[in-house]
Structure 1
Amino acid sequence: MDERDIALWWAKIRSGGPQRVPPGGATPTGLRRLVEADAQAVWLVPNLPESAGPAVLDEYGLPSQSVVDHKGTMRVLAACLRCCWANPGSDLWPGETAALDQVAVVFAHLTPGRGTRDRHRTLLGGVRRLDRAGWLRYDEARRTVRLGARVASWGSLDLSTLRELWRMVPSGDDQSQPHKAGGSR
């Protein structure tokens, strides 16, 4: 792979986020491959150090925050993480497929007091925004979600925080209130 090919791949990543490609191809310098669970495709994502702050991301032309920070969208992401990351002791990506209905149950726990219609609209809007940004993969026909390749870019400090938050979010299986940190599980 020559410099021109590498530059083209980086341009694709910068403009469209993680790129899904068939397995078996070369990996451009500075990118890493994430194999999907069924091994039918791989994702090319930037291989940046954990310490990469806004200045480094700016230098590479990558957005430091690709999703508008709406509280509803962040709660949607939290609900999807809870449903798609069955075991917080395991790797986050690729996770598991979750039914949108299961995510909706968890999201309802995270948004008490909202009406059903408003909650549904916020959930779908958040899932679609997160899908476009590469944080989730949403299959509208099957009404399922999976974690997107972009979550693999989170570093160990991020994952430590996410594991703690994961324990506080109720699963879609139970009807209880969110679990308190340090509570039995």
Structure 2
Amino acid sequence: MKPSALAHARARSCGPLPLGPGAPAPAGMTRLTRADSTGQALPAWPDGATPSLLEEYQVPPVAVERSGETRRVLATVLKCCWTDLSVDPWPGVPAPVELVLDTYRALIGRTDDLMRNWAVGALRRLHDSAWVAVHDGLVSLGPRCALWPVESHAQLQELVRRIPEPDRAELTVVADADIVAAAEPAPGGGMRAETGAAEFDDLLGGYDERRRAELVAAYMAVEHAAEPVQEARFAALRDPALRHTLAEMLARRGRVLVQHRERWTSGYDDGCAPALEPHGPAAEGWALGVSERAVLTLVLVHSVAIPRAEGLLPEDSWLSPHPTPVEELRRHTQVPIGELESALRVLRHAGLLTQVKAGEEAGGYVPGPQFHRLTPAARRRLQEELILAAGPHTPLAAAVRARRSAP
């Protein structure tokens, strides 16, 4: 696999790629350069399209936890950090966390502690997904904001103008400017965006405008839709020749098409697995932690393995209508309660778990939509890992170990 494809797979898995001084961004990525010439790289949208394209096809995107609240907090951060509307919004200027929270209060008209907790939770989610950067009491626009297309800036300016200013004259003990000046520089401060080399022009250049748009639409759908999309909805999925080109586009980013009967999505190329494994050569800091893996394994055992053994689930399904109650997780794990809640939050945010409700009580957790994206080989590997986790001393587990150790 080409290094650029592996780089794209890592960026999708773990966020912006760190770049050394003067190191170029891989093809198809935007380089965010610091003053010392180090930087980060983010995958650029093909042909300038964004996931908002899915709205035109009435295809739901990947769900965001508390999406409305998260959007409002991001808008508030934009209001506080984009102080000069005559320039591009990113990178903007850092703003104190308290200014962001006060502005959020003014936006929604509430001042209670519950509102503050919600806003802090949204800031954490936005930080984890690189939409904002929270550092040393300051909030900055995150690297993903650098990908906002120029065409959207006018709409963003209007949004910023409509957000009310907070009334902080009597509450502020230290001026906001003094807080910013006293803090260490936030990561990403003083960066500039440098557009990299075009990635798909050689593949798309031979098509007319309509077919090119169809390819880009199908690409965005399989990469960013919450569920596999209907083949009939996208010409580039129906037409074998266009689908071949779509597969080539995905391959350049370490991705493959995954078919579910007449539906399609995308997943990681199996060739990416060694480098994305927790003990792979370039995987330090990229994988789920021990707590997250333990909790995910428990959910898979109780929601998939046990129902499958009882004949309630087909062999090839990793999605389940049988939730694992939180009480069951607490009973069968040695992970402290605080770590358990944190692990569940991380897994929900990653789309690996979905919380479901059952009547008036919490139903528990089931595997999330990311399991749609498993390739057949990845499904087999996961099945083997589940066997080793659930029954390490069984004959079946011994057979798995023997097969893996065979030359």
TM-score range, shorter chain: 0.7 to 0.9
Segments ≥4 residues shifted beyond 6 Å: none
Deviation of 1:54 (Å): 6.8
> Higher helix proportion, which one?
2
Match of 2:78 among 68, 74, 81: 81
C-alpha spacing 1:111/1:54, structure 2 compared with 1 (3 Å): closer
Residues 69-89 of structure 1: CA distance to partner in whole angstroms, max 9, x if unpaired? 522211111110011111122
Contact 2:19 2:25 in 1 (8 A): no
Deviation of 1:5 (Å): 1.4
Aligned twin of 1:51: 49
Gaps of at least 5 residues in structure 1 are: 57-63, 176-185
Aligned-partner Cα distance in 1 for 2:40–2:13: 15
Contact 1:67 1:130 in 2 (8 A): no
C-alpha spacing 1:171/1:112, structure 2 compared with 1 (3 Å): closer
Contact 2:21 2:38 in 1 (8 A): yes
C-alpha spacing 1:164/1:39, structure 2 compared with 1 (3 Å): farther
- Please give the residue correspondences for 1:19-98 in structure 2 after superposition, counting only pairs within 5 Å: 19-36=17-34, 38-39=35-36, 41-48=38-45, 49-53=47-51, 67-68=64-65, 70-98=67-95
Aligned twin of 2:122: 126
Matched positions, count:
162
Aligned-partner Cα distance in 2 for 1:160–1:65: 26
Report the structure number with the largest CA radius of gyration: 2
Indicate the SS of the match to 2:48. coil
Aligned twin of 2:342: none
Are residues 1:164 and 2:164 paired? no
Indicate the SS of the match to 1:108. helix
Indicate the SS of the match to 2:18. strand
Residues 91-115 of structure 1: CA distance to partner in whole angstroms, max 9, x if unpaired? 1111111100111111011121351
Aligned-partner Cα distance in 1 for 2:128–2:120: 12
Structure showing greater relative contact order (alpha-carbon pairs closer than 8 Å, 6 or more residues apart): 1
Give the TM-score normalised by the residue count of structure 1.
0.77
Gaps of at least 5 residues in structure 2 are: 55-60, 170-407
CA RMSD of aligned residues (A): 2.4
Aligned-partner Cα distance in 1 for 2:68–2:106: 14
Indicate the SS of the match to 1:29. coil
C-alpha spacing 1:92/1:173, structure 2 compared with 1 (3 Å): farther
Aligned-partner Cα distance in 1 for 2:63–2:16: 12
C-alpha spacing 1:39/1:68, structure 2 compared with 1 (3 Å): farther
Indicate the SS of the match to 2:27. coil
1:129 maps to a residue whose letter is: R
Aligned twin of 1:136: 132
Contact 1:103 1:172 in 2 (8 A): no
Percent identical residues: 30
Aligned twin of 1:11: 9
